[in-house]
Amino acid sequence: MDPIGAGDAVVGPPGCSLGWRRLTRTTTCVLEDNVAHHLVVVRSGELALRPRGHEPVVLLPRDAYLLPPATACHVHALGEEVDVLCLTYQERAPGGAWAYGGRERGGLVRSSGVRPLRERIPIRWAPAIHDVLSPRTLLPLVGPVAWGPGRFALRGPQGLVVALVTTPTGTGPALHVHTQSTEIFVVLEGTFRIVWGEEGEHEVLLHAGDVVVIPPGYNRAFEAVGEGPHWLLPIVVGADDETEDIAWLPAVERRLRAVAHPVQVAIARRARLRIAARRPTS
């Protein structure tokens, strides 16, 4: 699978699909799947969501709601229209078989209520490290890891990690690789430059609503460009703990040694950030 940029049909990993829906005040949409989870993320506007068996909620821009399998949900716009990202994800059981039914997990995540990763101990003790390795603000929204500094606001199915990123113009994480997982970048607002390749020699500019898929084994990085605000939704499929799936190029390791104190590097390692030289992909 090669990276596919904005304007093309996007081929994603097995068991996962996503699409945009623009709903108006007069449109009612029903989400339901007996075997898959639905993740709903609002890009613009306000969305009324009524899951069966749960209290109705209103989602604002950048809020998310995870629906477990076999949960019907009615959604409609409040106001003239709303743009909604709908991700469908079928969990794999141990051994690689598809899981049917899943566990009863799900719920609402308000982006305004998620504590940024960089504010958490011990990560906040190594700001120089994170200026190289991460965007300025990363909000862990949905994932299977519910402990440690990288714990998520909402526990979701195995193999799915969803974060929300905002970062100033000219900033973003250094070139890195996901060894086992596929990463999907969805731009919610602003413009981002996504690069990939051995030294980041390929690039695409993504604007609001654009999507790109980066398969396992490809070096990749992103950077906010142009006027802000900038909001990006990285979706990682195939990793339970994203930090254990990331490796860094030798040049990144040299940058870290130049800007960070050895104590900061030790703190980063304790936070389970994988700082190691690796051979670039061919």
3-state secondary structure of 108: strand
Burial of 213 (0-12, 13-18, 19+ CB in 10 A): buried
At residue 20, the pLDDT reads 93
Give the model's confidence band at 280: pLDDT under 50 very low, under 70 low, under 90 confident, else very high. Answer: very low
Task: Return the bridge partners of 41, or none.
Answer: 64, 85
At residue 34, the pLDDT reads 85
At residue 263, the pLDDT reads 76
Query: How many percent of the chain have pLDDT more than 90?
Result: 47
Q: pLDDT of 44-93, one tens digit each?
A: 999 999 988 888 999 999 999 999 888 899 999 998 999 999 999 998 76
**Is the per-residue pLDDT at 143 higher than 70?**
yes
Residues 6+ away with beta carbon under 8 Å from 163: 138, 139, 140, 141, 233, 234, 236
**Is the per-residue pLDDT at 273 higher than 70?**
no
3-state secondary structure of 89: strand
Average pLDDT rounded to a whole number, residues 24-30: 85
Q: pLDDT of 158-196, one tens digit each?
A: 899 999 999 999 999 999 989 889 999 999 999 999 999
Structure tokens given for 257: 């040694």
Q: How many helices (H) and strands (E) does the chain have?
A: 3, 18
**Sequential DSSP letters for 152-166:** -SEE--TTEEEEEEE
Residues 160 and 196: their CA atoms lie apart, in Å, by 22
| Distance spanning both ends of the chain, measured CA to CA | 14
Question: Please, are residues 43 and 189 in contact by the beta-carbon 8 Å criterion?
Answer: yes
At residue 160, the pLDDT reads 92
At residue 282, the pLDDT reads 41
Structure tokens given for 172: 């973003």
Give the model's confidence band at 145: pLDDT under 50 very low, under 70 low, under 90 confident, else very high. Answer: low
Which uninterrupted H or E stretch holds 133?
helix 127-133
CA distances from 250 to 40, 147, 172, 254 (A): 38, 30, 18, 6
At residue 140, the pLDDT reads 92
At residue 281, the pLDDT reads 43
**Is the per-residue pLDDT at 259 higher than 70?**
yes
At residue 71, the pLDDT reads 87
Give the model's confidence band at 147: pLDDT under 50 very low, under 70 low, under 90 confident, else very high. Answer: low
At residue 200, the pLDDT reads 87
Give the number of other Cβ atoms within 10 Å of residue 270's Cβ: 13
At residue 104, the pLDDT reads 47
Lowest mean pLDDT among 180-189, 234-243, 251-260: 251-260
Give one word for 260, left, alpha or beta, with left for phi > 0 and alpha for psi -120 to 50: beta
At residue 138, the pLDDT reads 94
Lowest mean pLDDT among 133-142, 147-156, 199-208, 262-271: 262-271
pTM as predicted: 0.87
Query: What percentage of the chain's residues is helix, strand, coil (to nearest 5)?
Result: 15, 40, 45
Domains of the chain: 16-111 (2.60.120.10), 113-270 (2.60.120.10)
Residues 76 and 245: their CA atoms lie apart, in Å, by 38
Nearest Cα to 241, choosing from 120, 133, 153, 160? Answer: 160
CA distances from 73 to 34, 62, 247 (A): 12, 19, 39
Residues 5 and 35: their CA atoms lie apart, in Å, by 29
Give the model's confidence band at 251: pLDDT under 50 very low, under 70 low, under 90 confident, else very high. Answer: confident
